[in-house]
Structure 1
Amino acid sequence: MVKEEWRGLGEIPFTDKLRALTVPLERWHRDNFGDMDKKILMFEEVIQKIDDMVSNGSYDGTVEARRKALVACCEKWYVRKELHWKQMSRSRHAKGMDKNTRYFHNLAFAKQKNNRIDTLIINGRLIRNQVRIKLATREFYKDLYHQERSPEMGFRDGLVERISEEDSSTLEMLPSPEEVKEAVWDCESSKAPGCDGYNMNFIKKC
């Protein structure tokens, strides 16, 4: 479907093609993955009816084969639903990662409880007082990252050299298609999608 839609869009810019693909992709998703819960519920109800028949003594090879087929179809929809929500979670994380949701606060609070320092050895003594532990920790890192005053130096004091015209031209050159492809293929395919909704796995298959 993607290949056919891609060819039909003609020679328009790549980003415009991705934007135009959202409509047929939404339609394809609705036709193939819409009402997943209803389909799973339907399979589960039929399987339950067969199990009731078996418990009542109505059982033969045909019933067993039908039950196996229904269970296999139901398992496929379970996998589809899991993949669907995995992708949805990544997409929502990319769009709303800066939102201070209740889930984020609960998660941070749980981690804070696990990361709590109850005791600390200071100058050979075991300390449990939280105020003293905080003060000792702050002083430790204050001394650790203390920077002595250094003489001020300018750009013309031998720190920066002027690059050659050849190096300057190389830096301003546009990347080749091979370099772009290499950079894309080095990215992890299952990473969260960008603002356009496409992850790297989709881009690679285009």
Structure 2
Amino acid sequence: MEYMSVDSEGSARGLLCIWDPEIFKLNGYCSNRRFILFSGTFLNSFDYVLLNVYAPNDASIRNILWEILVKLKSIFPNPWCMGGDFNEIRNNGERIGFSRRDKGMKEFNEFINKCELTDLPMLGRKYTWCNAQENEKWSRIDRIMLSPEWLISFKLKLWGLPRLLSDHCPLLIRKDERDWGPKPFKFINAWTLHPNFPSFVENTWKETTVRGGPGQALLQKLKLLKLALKKWNSEVFGNISTNLKAAEVESHDLDISVEERPLLASERDRRRVLQNEIWKLSKMMKWMWQQKSRVNWTLNGDKNTRFFHVMASCKQNRNIINIISVNGVIHKEPDTIKQEALLHFKKQFTEDWANRPSLGGVFKLVQVNHHFQELEIEFSEAEIKAAIKECNGNKAPGPDGFNLL
């Protein structure tokens, strides 16, 4: 192993970073009393920057640290992974037993936005620090924040581990390799922009023959349509980003040719086709990422696929159920989580009645006389049909025996 460290001073703790040189290759570093920064390559494929931070307790000095780190972001432009003790929270919900300190929170959030970092949600616990005294104070001042490239390249989860001797709990960031089984079918709105999509769905639905009752037939038809749509998506709709990039490259090559010579008629026609295709594919990309991220496109300026890709990854991190507690028992494995969820909803929608009530007996018609006194009178079926016929102008009743009463 290799390491870098900053010694402690008095009650102020030090910093230590340890890594395996066969996995991480160090290319450069920078450090002072409050942080260790080193850049390198992970498995010869992913260049990134790691920061180990210990922010001061004084809010004014802490803001100076934020300014230093913002400047370092331009010097070390590779994707950042920054973690440690920031001695600051992002909102009032991240602490218990403290007075308000809005200025420090505002400066901390502005720093995160300037560095374009994503704060990973913590699983397993809510707070990371406790003063362990009679009047307990809790807060989440330890965290790990990532640049968007991390979220695009890796599926990472942040766990808060048990707090033992220290007043801080350890944080563990790891790749989520749990198998959640087949993914549910999702309809992509951008499919509707393809000219062949409506006729494909209609023909597939008509050509599908199934047996059984109406409900069973509908279920089987939807299953078969889903399989057909998956195949159509891969074979016909294709990879939008790949097709868009290829069209942009070809269009750019034609633009370069114009600078050297006049284009042939066929080349001019091809360029018009490419421009139209680029416009349609760009619109498809916009629809697709807008749907995945659930962010209003019109409120966020021009097309920014990277931003929406990150938003979609963050939404997935927030929404997924990674751990549940049932009667005090913690479940982390996908199979047990799905089983407990199934049992919960099965219990909610199970009837306790052994026998359901049924309607029967003589039907009665309630009328009100001129003095608004209720009269309960029994009628036979023949008398009811005669009364309906009379009220409808002696017209014959409809197929169900009733018209308008």
Superposition TM-score tier, normalisation by shorter sequence: 0.3 to 0.5
- Larger Cα-atom Rg: 2
- TM-score of the pair, normalised by structure 1: 0.39
Greater RCO (CA < 8 Å, at least 6 residues apart):
1
Q: More strand per residue: 1 or 2?
A: 2
- TM-score of the pair, normalised by structure 2: 0.22
Q: More helix per residue: 1 or 2?
A: 1
